[in-house]
A and B are shown apart, each in its own frame.
Chain A
Amino acid sequence: MIDPILDVRGLTKSFGGLVASKNISLDLRPGEIHALIGPNGAGKSTLIKQIAGGLRPDEGSVFFDGQDVSPLSTASRARLGMGRTFQISSVAMEYTVLQNTVLGALGHRGNTFRFFNRVMKDTELLATAENALEQVGLQEFRTFRTSDLSHGQRRQLEVAVALTLEPKAFLMDEPMAGLGAEGSHRLIGFLDALRQKAPILLIEHDMDAVFTLADRISVLVYGEIIASGSVDEIRANPDVRSAYLGEESVE
């Protein structure tokens, strides 16, 4: 049994009377894409925040690369190798595409407390940044101001920045959201190849993407994992069908 990169054990979180996460356990193994699906309001953002940092669970722990990261901050976990993309694009809007990507490379390399270097002429950082942009297909847009990009392009930028971090695992929160058919298709192909570099915990609503890409699927409903298994197992699972897939027949 290969050790999982990410091992989430028994996460429980309540807000007052509301139980947002109930004893959630899942893991992410090398080379896989583990998709997390569930209806809106299931508690996906709460779960992501407890994994990536920023929200302390009431009970449970998060192990990353063999280490208990539960007491660590978001920044520390990022440095340990968690590459996160946000559901609502979290990029620096006033910066160019290139600046945002260089930012990632800089954060990863460290040594940010330098005051006299010309960071945007740093060959090492530029190489990493350009490489990442090429991989997502944004290199022509490198000098564009991020606020001028389309929504879909900003999602691509998020992924590019995550790449510069050379993470040990990706936490992707709805990367398909807002992409058109062509964009989705391209991203699906991209993520398919990406799993070799680092496994992906993929939170998604886009069922095409999920069924195409996922090695495993876990279903989150009202803060609980009600089912976890292969694509076929989940498709056939009656609890999942009723709770989430509803009347749609998904073939």
Chain B
Amino acid sequence: MKKETTLNAGLMLLLLAIPVAAWFMDEPFLVTLTTRAVVFAIAGVGLNFALGFGGLVSFGHAVFFGLGGYAMGILAHHAQTYTPLMEWPFVIDGSNSMLVIWPVAIVISALAALAIGALSLRTTGVYFIMITLAFGQMFFYFMISWSAYGGEDGLSIYVRNGFPGLNTMDPFQFFVICYVLLALVLFAVHRAAHSSFGLMLRAARQNEDRVQAVGQIPYRLYLIAFMVSGAITGLAGALFADLNRFVSPTMLSWHTSGEIMIFVILGGVGRVFGPVAGAALFILLEHSLGGLSEYWHVYLGAILLGVVLFARGGLFGLLAGLEVAHD
């Protein structure tokens, strides 16, 4: 088996094994920790679709993470206070069912990505990075001033959202939900990467002239990729808010955007499973270094710097070597 495939499988097995072991050892904290890694992984897989495959350096992806979180927060808030979201022109009630919340989070994030992408993709290079950052800030400040939903203090959700037939308050069952979603997302992204769209998108990243010379339009490819990317990150946001039963504007901050980028780069940009490794590594560092010092971000910064300067391909680059062309 190719090195990369072995690594992928190993990673997924590890992420499953730890909570199972923790469940037997009755250490729910470890289960929650792994869930956190899984949710971050989904966010990273989302960003990687635009960044790794499309070459779009979006420094505002926290927007989608936060929008997904607030979609969940707002719906659940109205559900728990028994007030409707809207009464005119028609009644919209809140909800705390995951099966309602996830599609809402996905659709809202995709629409936001459409709007932001349509405007931002008219620029290139540094301007693109800046305009995505600026849009991120726009939404960030907007949420801070939206006092109806907690503003700067955020919104607490008392009960975890419901999934038919499961007790979602149980850490292990919630973990399984997130893990299955990660697996589904990875499967979809893997197929997309090897599809017609994927071939053309990844070509555009390498050489836009080439794509135009074969009769295709890079802007359209990028826009679709951006929407898919936003939707996936939005789903992660909804799960994250659910995990913590709390959503706040911090989810939209540019620091969060930077962190999502860290997941991607630590694992290896452009590798389908890269963000999974990156998120897992990040959680490991957060847990181990964070235990050592309150100022562990200094070490994180040093490690990130080291990776960027000396180990550009991330974990996958180190362990699986140069990316072999698929198929």
A and B touch in the complex (CB under 8 A): yes
The reply to whether the CB of B141 lies closer than 8 angstroms to some CB of chain A is: no
Q: Which of A35-93 contact B (CB under 8 A)?
A: 52-54, 73-76, 78-79, 84, 86, 90-93
CB pair B200 A106 closer than 8 Å: yes
The reply to whether the CB of B147 lies closer than 8 angstroms to some CB of chain A is: no
CB distance from B242 to the nearest CB of A (A): 27
CB pair B203 A92 closer than 8 Å: yes
> Please, how many angstroms separate the alpha-carbon atoms of A197 and B210 in the complex?
22
CB pair A119 B213 closer than 8 Å: no
Partner of B213 from the list A78, A95, A143 (CB cut-off 8 Å) is A78
CB distance from A247 to the nearest CB of B (A): 38
> Please, how many angstroms separate the alpha-carbon atoms of A100 and B325 in the complex?
11
CB pair B216 A112 closer than 8 Å: yes
Q: Which residue of B lies closest to A116 (CB)?
A: B191
Q: Which residue of A lies closest to B200 (CB)?
A: A112
Q: Which of A103-142 contact B (CB under 8 A)?
A: 103-104, 106-108, 110-122
CB<8 Å pairs between A and B, sample of 11: A86-B209, A90-B207, A103-B199, A103-B200, A103-B203, A104-B214, A112-B216, A116-B192, A118-B191, A145-B325, A165-B214
> Please, how many angstroms separate the alpha-carbon atoms of A161 and B194 in the complex?
19
Q: Which of B212-254 contact A (CB under 8 A)?
A: 212-217, 221, 224
The reply to whether the CB of A99 lies closer than 8 angstroms to some CB of chain B is: yes
The reply to whether the CB of B29 lies closer than 8 angstroms to some CB of chain A is: no
CB pair A119 B215 closer than 8 Å: no
CB pair B213 A90 closer than 8 Å: yes
CB pair A108 B214 closer than 8 Å: yes
CB pair A107 B216 closer than 8 Å: yes
The reply to whether the CB of A96 lies closer than 8 angstroms to some CB of chain B is: yes
With a 10 A CB-CB cut-off, give which of B195, B202, B209, B212 has the most chain A CB atoms: B212
The reply to whether the CB of A102 lies closer than 8 angstroms to some CB of chain B is: yes
CB distance from A128 to the nearest CB of B (A): 12
> Please, how many angstroms separate the alpha-carbon atoms of A112 and B224 in the complex?
12
The reply to whether the CB of B206 lies closer than 8 angstroms to some CB of chain A is: yes
> Please, how many angstroms separate the alpha-carbon atoms of A113 and B212 in the complex?
15
With a 10 A CB-CB cut-off, give which of B194, B213, B326 has the most chain A CB atoms: B213
With a 10 A CB-CB cut-off, give which of A79, A90, A108 has the most chain B CB atoms: A90
- Residues of B in contact with A (beta carbons under 8 Å apart): 191-192, 194-200, 202-203, 206-207, 209-217, 221, 224, 323, 325-327
> Please, how many angstroms separate the alpha-carbon atoms of A118 and B196 in the complex?
7
Measured between beta carbons, the chain B residues less than 8 angstroms from A113 are 196-197, 224
With a 10 A CB-CB cut-off, give which of B197, B206, B215, B221 has the most chain A CB atoms: B215
Q: Which residue of B lies closest to A74 (CB)?
A: B212
CB pair A78 B207 closer than 8 Å: no
Measured between beta carbons, the chain A residues less than 8 angstroms from B217 are 73, 75
How many chain A residues have a CB neighbour from B under 8 Å? 43
CB pair B196 A106 closer than 8 Å: yes
CB pair B326 A107 closer than 8 Å: no
CB distance from A233 to the nearest CB of B (A): 33
The reply to whether the CB of A94 lies closer than 8 angstroms to some CB of chain B is: yes
CB-CB under 8 A for A115 and B195, given A86-B209, A93-B206: yes
Measured between beta carbons, the chain A residues less than 8 angstroms from B202 are 92, 94-95
Measured between beta carbons, the chain B residues less than 8 angstroms from A104 are 214
CB distance from B323 to the nearest CB of A (A): 7
The 9 closest A-B pairs by CB, nearest first: A107-B214, A120-B327, A79-B215, A78-B215, A92-B206, A74-B212, A96-B325, A114-B196, A107-B215
CB pair B325 A99 closer than 8 Å: yes
> Please, how many angstroms separate the alpha-carbon atoms of A160 and B213 in the complex?
13
Q: Which residue of A lies closest to B189 (CB)?
A: A115
Measured between beta carbons, the chain B residues less than 8 angstroms from A107 are 200, 211, 214-216
> Please, how many angstroms separate the alpha-carbon atoms of A116 and B213 in the complex?
24
CB-CB under 8 A for A119 and B214, given A86-B209, A95-B206: no
Measured between beta carbons, the chain A residues less than 8 angstroms from B325 are 94-96, 99, 143, 145
CB pair A86 B213 closer than 8 Å: yes
Partner of A121 from the list B211, B213, B327 (CB cut-off 8 Å) is B327
CB pair B197 A103 closer than 8 Å: no
CB pair B212 A53 closer than 8 Å: yes
